[in-house]
Chains A and B, each alone.
Chain A
């Protein structure tokens, strides 16, 4: 008896579970109805964008600009003058030398040491 009652209650539970599953599957279907068209729309849109060939143009325009007759060589950019610790001026180095008792090293050049290619 107890076994029958247990089976019956299990049956109800199973039925309830079935109902729940059915409701979930219905929900999933409705979600699919929303998501699938959205994905399709996105895919169509992205195809349309690629049809305009934006990526190719980006590459081509840069090459065209580089080879354009009016293009000029890049200007000299500033760079760090090595790994040496430099004073801002010869006078500052001489002033520092008075206290540190170190000799002064003055590097003279045509152009600036902090210019690239100098």
Chain B
């Protein structure tokens, strides 16, 4: 799990005020084998990490469930630990530039436009050159020896290969889309930007319609027409 990494967890706790939010219960898939046995598993849902700051908007107490906030950046879905921390560091640096501004909307929009362009032009580090995998193998060899190393490398490579593939896709496809979402000029006084942008992000970038009780899976998994309710 991403947040079980010691260095990343320490970085997050030290530099951010962290909170997590359940958008809705996790979807579960059940397979009934017909002999009384039922296999239940959760569907791996998409996640988003918002970096934001509180604002002194007058609309902050207008019935909104959370105080007013300004979105600085969003990290769509999952990344490798290295890329996730790099994204957090960039957002932290941006926060330092805009936190004292009266109107940060223009600076934020420009920054996201530039980032989207940079990502499109910058190649990713391939899975073969993944420094995390090399470091993990070295530590396992020193600590537990060859047999454990073999087991660890097989298990971790399977897990990591999925994550590395996700990372590459999220970086190349979803990140520019998320930056485009935040590059649109926003209102100077938004009561709760995270709340207003969350449905858009999940629907347009992550492909999950939070308003649809079937999360957009109905025609593919359940059959029937698109947007079945």
Contact = CB atoms under 8 A, between A and B. Distances in A.
A2 B1 CA distance: 94
Interface string B28-70: 0000000111111110011111111110000000000111010
Contacts, number: 157
A81 B215 CA distance: 25
Interface in A82-104: 82-98, 100-104
A69 interface: yes
Given A86-B19, A90-B21, A111-B22, A103 B46 contact: no
Interface residues of B, number: 55
B181 to A, nearest CB: 14
B19 A102 contact: no
Interface string B1-27: 111111001101101111111111111
Contacts of A103: 15-17, 51-53, 72, 91-92, 95, 99
Given A82-B2, A82-B3, A111-B45, A105 B37 contact: no
24 contacts: A83-B5, A85-B18, A90-B194, A93-B18, A95-B67, A103-B52, A103-B99, A104-B17, A104-B53, A105-B49, A105-B88, A106-B19, A106-B50, A106-B51, A107-B20, A108-B20, A108-B21, A108-B48, A108-B50, A109-B20, A109-B47, A110-B24, A110-B27, A113-B3
